[in-house]
Amino acid sequence: MTSVGRYLGCWFFLQLATSIALVVFTLSTIHCSSLRPPAYSSSEVIIPRRLAAQGGKTKKDEISYIIEAAGRDYIIRLNPPKHLLAKDLPVFTYNSKGERVESRPYMPVECYRQGYVEGIVDSLAVLRTCLGLTGLLKIGARTYGIEPLQNSSAFEHLLYLSEESLPSFSSYRAGVGRTKHQAKDLRIRQTRMMYDYLQYEDFPKYIELYIVIDKKLFVQEGNNVSRVQTVVLDVVNIADATFESLKTSIVLVGLEIWTENNLIDISTDFTEVLQNFNTWRITNMTNRTEYDTAFLFFKQDLKGVFGQSYHSAICKSNFSAGLQVYLQNQLTRFARGFSHELASHIGMNHDDSYCVCGKHTSCLMHTYHASVNLFSNCSILNFIELSEQGSLGCLLNVPRIPSKFMHCGDGVLDIDEQCDCGKSNTCMDDPCCTPNCHLKKHAHCGAGKCCRKCTFVPKGEICRAKASECDLPEYCNGKSPHCPKDLYLQDGTPCSKYSSYCYKKRCWNHDFLCRRIFKGESRSGHERCYLALNILGTPYGNCGFDHSRKEYLKCHPLHSMCGKVQCIDVNSAPELKDMVIHMKEVQGTTCWSTSHPAEIHHHDIGIVPNGIVCDPYKVCINRKCVSKAVLNSSCDPRKTCRGRGVCNNLHKCHCNSGWAPPNCKFWGAGGSVDGGFPTIAWGDSLAKYILGTIIPFCMLIVAAVLLIFPKVWELMGSFMRWWKTSMEKALNLPPKSDTQVRVPVETP
């Protein structure tokens, strides 16, 4: 027995020693090898190989690399970005005295590239190519980050799966299992239709971006201005490539680095930081440079929150600001988070469970975790709607950019280009445009809503149909390929059978707001619901939120209809992400409302928006019930348009069919000076007027003349004979004899 125990003990000791040795060997291997650094759960070391240019097969300015990923070689095609930096980009820093110093340093824009992976659908490559390759690669369903290994003499790079190496926003995932394949196919077809829409001349758009860097981030990057510039350009390059699907370019127009001290108080309260930054921006940045929005990149140890901005406010000068927490050594995630926040700032909402981007469901505007830098079909449609509503007008101006960014073949119509059909293989099938961006001999135009088969669409043909009750149609002028600016009815125009007013192209009321949330037969609650609940200052009944005091604002009874939407006749509570449904009994009536945990970041559909009628001749503006006069309805259609038309948002007449602009005084085809006018067709009121009134009247006159004139002539003859006889009798003249007497004439 003793020998057996001794044997078992030796055996156990031998197994333990072997296990310890194996663990030690494994740990020593991990420590010494750079194949799997602790920062990444899935990575590999690769050596990219640059491909030599192959004569006519290689596009001008294009460079290519072979990169190995997951045991397979991929060819990466890279081209310069269309737009990235403003010309003579200003960089602002501060000296030890706190004085602002402006410089215009050299920016190595030639290092930044965007492209695709050859043979892979929906692929993306966004890289900085100087001193190695740094950036993002999307190959199939996987998104990689790539960066050069430090101190490597063999051009070694670390390639890692970004979605695995980085913590997600949350463990929650949308329930995509409920979405049927048919619905996905429908969304994919819808996406193709929307991409076709994006070819119109209202695109491309340009977001002129001003970025501010806080002191802690500057210190994190070694107090090195050049390193900070590199970080910013890396992020802007990825964001620019991401927004390309929306035909929108991100252009850096200004960079400010707080090299000495932070110029605002930066705490852990995001809302407070955003307000502080926005106040500083309004006060101090008026004379810096022209921009659309400003973002603060700052270093802060926070959990769960990475960015914040004023939702749908990029073109509102008092709120065009946002924040983004800097994630060091996590470029792909930092850029993805910034792109998400910028899209929210534009006005794009979070995706629903049925939204897709290609084969992916966790797209860029996913509520919790975006696995790819792609906008979903829902986001693209959302963006188009924002543009159609006129909410993105500030993004239409073309910024001043270095000439090296403007080149033929990028699919964007630049200055001095007659057309741009894109890549050479696309131009081969283009009937209007040549690869060198000139129109072909027979062509008058290359693209646009008023261009058809390389020729201008005839004058008077509709190019943008009326989309809603408060919208107006636009017409081609026969001389341009572009449709006129999108116009709509003047704010304050009565609509919906005089139950509401037009406001920013929409005709909404409280009933519509309830149906939008609760669907079915729901409708706006009685005034007692609003009066009883919105004066409480609660999440489900308020007139706003005071971020300085961190409390909801109570509505004054006069403004209660402009607070939270209160509904009745609700059959079931809808499933709304990030929304809480509330039910309250008020005098025997169940009033339904919603609340939102972070209204500054998200679009809260539970609030009464501007333009809703709150009382006779009054509308809601900024949670207050004010006189309709604030809508500045300066054009009176009864006077300005003589009651023969309506007023558009430019306060000019859009005449009814049958009357001519600008003031509907004379006959014409209708329309307006700014939106164009249709051609006169037989069905128009003017044609009906001519054919149905003037011509029959003339024919009646002719018929009357032909029928009545002989009778009148006969009567006139009888009257003249009677008149002559009467005159002779009155003068006692003897009647004339039938025999005439010749008087002899004597001769001399």
* Residue 435, C-beta contacts closer than 8 angstroms, at least 6 positions apart: 408, 409, 421, 424, 427
Rounded to whole angstroms, how far apart are CA atoms 272 and 370?
Answer: 26
Beta bridge partners of 209: 252, 293
DSSP 263: S
Active-site residue flag, 341: yes
Strands 205-213 and 72-79: unpaired
Among 46, 22, 44, 27, residue whose Cα is nearest residue 35: 44
Beta strands in 353-461 (DSSP E): 451-452, 455-456
| Lookup result for tokens 């650094």 | 37
Tokens of 37: 């650094």
Tokens of 244: 């390309």
> Do 102 and 112 form a contact (C-beta atoms < 8 A)?
no
Among 187, 287, 207, residue whose Cα is nearest residue 252: 207
- Number of other residues whose CB lies within 10 A of the CB of residue 645: 26
> Do 68 and 43 form a contact (C-beta atoms < 8 A)?
no
Angle subtended at Cα 311 by Cα 577 and Cα 391, rounded to the nearest 5 degrees: 115
Q: To 10 degrees, the CA torsion angle through 532, 534, 537, 538?
A: 90
> Do 412 and 447 form a contact (C-beta atoms < 8 A)?
no
The alpha-carbon radius of gyration of the chain (Å, integer) is: 38
Rounded to whole angstroms, how far apart are CA atoms 307 and 333?
Answer: 12
> Do 412 and 419 form a contact (C-beta atoms < 8 A)?
no
158 φ, ψ (degrees, to nearest 5): -95, 120
Residue tagged active-site, from 341, 388, 417, 474 = 341
Among 93, 87, 128, 402, residue whose Cα is nearest residue 255: 93
Q: To 10 degrees, the CA torsion angle through 269, 271, 272, 277?
A: 120
Peptide bond before residue 204 is cis, with ω within 30 degrees of 0: yes
DSSP 53: P
Peptide bond before residue 574 is cis, with ω within 30 degrees of 0: no
558 φ, ψ (degrees, to nearest 5): -70, -20
Rounded to whole angstroms, how far apart are CA atoms 102 and 111?
Answer: 24
161 half-sphere exposure, CB direction, 13 A CA radius: 13
- Number of other residues whose CB lies within 10 A of the CB of residue 710: 10
Strands 551-552 and 474-475: unpaired
Spell out a b/e string for 78-108, using b for 16 or more CB atoms within 10 Å of the CB, else e: bbbbbbbbbeebbbbbbeeeeeeeeeeeebe
Q: Catalytic residue positions?
A: 341
